[in-house]
């Protein structure tokens, strides 16, 4: 689960930024870059998938059920 949380945080960090150095000039390549539009969402979705798998993964060994009723055999 820690790896998944790390991926989500890394995706958020990757998506951040994009402030224009000159407010009078629009630079779409700063906002609409591959890193912000494609890579960061993929990292976040992968992180959520890893967290969900980590939650549902059974780490305890399974034990056989033992019946208390000897006639049930």
pTM (predicted TM-score) = 0.71
pLDDT band at 2 (very low <50, low <70, confident <90, very high): very high
pLDDT at 4 over 70: yes
Give the residue numbers spanning the domain of 14. 2-18+27-56
Q: Give me the half-sphere count of Cα atoms (radius 13 Å) on the Cβ side of residue 39.
A: 10
DSSP string, 13-42: HHH-----SSTTS--HHHHS-HIIIIIHHH
Mean pLDDT over each residue of the chain, to the nearest integer: 86
Rounded distance between C-alpha atoms, residue 8 and residue 4, angstroms: 6
- Proportion of the chain above pLDDT 90, given as a percent: 48
Q: What are the pLDDT digits (tens) for 9-44?
A: 999 999 998 788 888 888 888 888 899 999 999 999
**Structural domain contains residue 32:** yes
| Total structural domains within the chain | 1
CB 39 within 8 Å of CB 14? yes
**Structural domain contains residue 43:** yes
Q: Which of 47, 42, 35, 39 is nearest to 9 (CA)?
A: 47
């Amino acid at each position: 689960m820690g790896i998944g949380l790390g991926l989500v945080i890394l995706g958020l960090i990757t998506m951040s930024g994009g402030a224009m150095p000159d407010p009078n000039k629009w630079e779409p390549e700063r906002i609409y870059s591959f890193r912000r539009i494609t890579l960061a969402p993929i990292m976040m979705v992968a992180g959520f998938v890893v967290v969900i798998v980590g939650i549902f993964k059974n780490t305890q060994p399974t034990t056989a059920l033992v019946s208390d009723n000897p006639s049930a055999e």
